[in-house]
Amino acid sequence: MTTIKSQLIYDKTIIKDEWLTIELPKINVEVKKQAGKVVLFKLTGEEYPTEEQVNKAVFPSSGKILLHLKVLIKHQELLKNRIKNQDIGFWFATHEEIEDSLLLLGDINQFPLIAVNIEKFSDGRIFSRGKQLRIKYGFNKTLRAFGDVLRDQLFFLKRSGFNSYLIRKDRDAIDALKGLNDFSNPYQGALDTINPAWKRIKR
């Protein structure tokens, strides 16, 4: 077997990554404490990308690119043809609410790839994001996890609607593949195996 030198797992195999992920520019912003009403994302204490970051993001004029959701929305008109060519995907981070943004995008399935960035492997919000994308927003194309993606979370990612995993740079993707098969017959219905054990098998 020839092995491809790549950190990307798609489904159950290692493949080359054709996509270029466009990160947001790092800009130092003064942190303002906001008093008053409880806002959901404020509860979790994390910041959204600032307008300045979105405005200053630059990306190549051709090829398959993965843009932050906000950047995509800003340039949606300009990117019309590239979207049609299936050359544009988008990403967001686990703490970002995307419902309002999705309304501006139209059909979510015109994008061949959505990626969710996980900063810390222990951030389990990524699983709920996957689930929401699949069942609430009806996304049926490739769903990728990237960032702090490690072997011992893959089984759960797979069951939460993900089918693409970009393994953290310093880890072995071949080793990580094993994590997809930790359990052969889980109890509950999830997104890979829809039915719970008692419906799948005569118990």
Across the beta sheet with 164-166, what order do the strands follow?
A: 13-15, 8-10, 164-166, 142-147, 113-118, 88-93, 65-68, 20-21
Residue 199 lies near other proteins (rule: CB under 8 A): yes
Q: Which one, of 154, 141, 24, lies nearest residue 92 by Cα?
A: 24
* Structural contact between residues 83 and 99, judged by C-beta atoms closer than 8 angstroms: no
Distance between CA atoms of residues 36 and 149, nearest Å: 36
Q: How far is the CB of 48 from other proteins (least distance, A)?
A: 15
For residue 84, give every residue at least 6 positions away whose Cβ sits within 8 Å of its Cβ, in sequence order, or none.
110
Q: How far is the CB of 122 from other proteins (least distance, A)?
A: 5
Q: How far is the CB of 92 from other proteins (least distance, A)?
A: 13
Distances (CA, A) of 68 to 23, 62, 155: 7, 16, 26
Q: How far is the CB of 192 from other proteins (least distance, A)?
A: 9
Residue 140 lies near other proteins (rule: CB under 8 A): no
Residue 70 lies near other proteins (rule: CB under 8 A): no
Beta bridge partners of 118: 147
- Amino acid letter for position 95: H
Report the residue from 4, 15, 44, 47 that binds other proteins according to the rule CB under 8 A: 44
CB-nearer residue toward other proteins: 62 or 185? 185
Binding part of the chain for other proteins, among 53-61, 82-90, 109-117, 179-187 by CB under 8 A, reads: 179-187
Q: How far is CA 161 from the centre of its chain?
A: 10
Distance between CA atoms of residues 4 and 154, nearest Å: 20
CB-nearer residue toward other proteins: 44 or 86? 44
Report the residue from 64, 75, 125, 141 that binds other proteins according to the rule CB under 8 A: 125
Report the residue from 23, 46, 51, 52 that binds other proteins according to the rule CB under 8 A: 46
CB-nearer residue toward other proteins: 79 or 118? 118
Residues 21-40 that bind other proteins (CB under 8 A): 38, 40
* Structural contact between residues 92 and 118, judged by C-beta atoms closer than 8 angstroms: no
Residue 68 lies near other proteins (rule: CB under 8 A): no
Residue 188 lies near other proteins (rule: CB under 8 A): yes
Binding positions for other proteins, rule: CB under 8 A: 38, 40, 43-46, 121-125, 127-129, 131-132, 135-136, 150, 152-153, 155-160, 182-190, 194-199, 201, 203
